[in-house]
Amino acid sequence: MSTGKLSIFCTGATGYVGGHGLQRILAHPLAHTFDITALVRNPESGKILESKFGVKAVVGSLKDLDKLTELAEGAHLVFQAADADDEPPMEAILAGMKKRHEKTGDTPILIHVSGAGFLIDDPRGEFASPTITSDLDIDAIDAIPRTAVHHAVDLLVAAADTEGYARTYIVAPGIIYGFPSGPLFEAGVAKRNMNQVSWYAEAFLARGRAGVVGKGACIWADVHIDDTAELLYLLFDKALDDPAKLGHGREGYYFAENGEHSLYALCKAIGTGLVEAGRADDAEPTEFTAEERAKIFGGDFIAFLHFTNARCRADRPRRDLGWKPVYKTEELYRVAKKEVEAALKKQLGRTAA
**Tens digit of each residue's pLDDT (9 = 90 or more) over 277-306:** 999 999 999 999 999 999 999 999 999 999
pLDDT of residue 350: 65
| Residues 6+ away with beta carbon under 8 Å from 237 | 28
pLDDT digits (tens, 9 = 90+) for 108-117: 999 999 999 9
Cβ atoms of residues 180 and 16 within 8 Å: yes
| Other C-beta atoms lying within 10 Å of the C-beta of residue 298 | 10
pLDDT of residue 351: 61
**Which of 21, 11, 8, 10 lies closest to 235 in space, CA to CA?**
21
Q: What is the CATH number of domain 6-121+132-192+222-256?
A: 3.40.50.720
Across residues 218-237, what is the average pLDDT? 98
Across residues 193-210, what is the average pLDDT? 92
What residues are paired with 313 via a beta bridge?
A: 134
What residues are paired with 110 via a beta bridge?
A: 78, 168
| Residues 6+ away with beta carbon under 8 Å from 115 | 84, 149, 150, 172, 173, 174
Beta strand ranges found along 127-252 (DSSP E): 133-134, 167-173, 175-177, 211-212, 219-224
pLDDT of residue 244: 87
Helix (H) or strand (E) holding 11: strand 6-11
Q: Which of the two residues, 1 and 204, has the higher pLDDT score?
A: 204
CA dihedral 229, 336, 150, 262 (to 10 degrees): 120
pLDDT digits (tens, 9 = 90+) for 11-31: 999 999 999 999 999 999 999
Distance CA 282, CA 138 (A): 44
What residues are paired with 36 via a beta bridge?
A: 8
Distance CA 91, CA 82 (A): 14
* C-alpha to C-alpha distances, 56 to 39, 112, 352, nearest whole angstrom: 9, 20, 38
pLDDT of residue 1: 40
Residue-averaged pLDDT of the chain: 95
Classify domain 196-220+259-347 at the CATH topology level: UDP-galactose 4-epimerase; domain 1 (3.90.25)
- Using pLDDT thresholds of 50, 70 and 90, give the confidence band for residue 3: very low
* C-alpha to C-alpha distances, 74 to 21, 99, 107, nearest whole angstrom: 20, 9, 12
6 φ, ψ (degrees, to nearest 5): -100, 120
Cβ atoms of residues 171 and 17 within 8 Å: no
DSSP class of residue 245 equals: G
- Using pLDDT thresholds of 50, 70 and 90, give the confidence band for residue 211: very high
**Which of 280, 158, 261, 190 lies closest to 219 in space, CA to CA?**
261
Helix (H) or strand (E) holding 185: helix 183-186
Rounded to the nearest 5 percent, the helix, strand and coil shares of the chain are 50, 15, 35
**Which of 170, 188, 160, 308 lies closest to 252 in space, CA to CA?**
170
Domain range annotation of the chain: 6-121+132-192+222-256, 196-220+259-347
At 262 the three-state DSSP class reads strand
pLDDT of residue 352: 52
- Using pLDDT thresholds of 50, 70 and 90, give the confidence band for residue 52: very high
* Angle between the N-to-C axes of helices 196-207 and 263-276, in degrees from 0 to 180, rounded to the nearest 10: 50
Across residues 223-238, what is the average pLDDT? 97
Asked if the model's pLDDT at residue 2 lies above 50, the reply is no
Distance CA 11, CA 94 (A): 13
Asked if the model's pLDDT at residue 265 lies above 60, the reply is yes
pLDDT digits (tens, 9 = 90+) for 119-159: 999 999 999 999 999 999 999 999 999 999 999 999 999 99
- Using pLDDT thresholds of 50, 70 and 90, give the confidence band for residue 192: confident
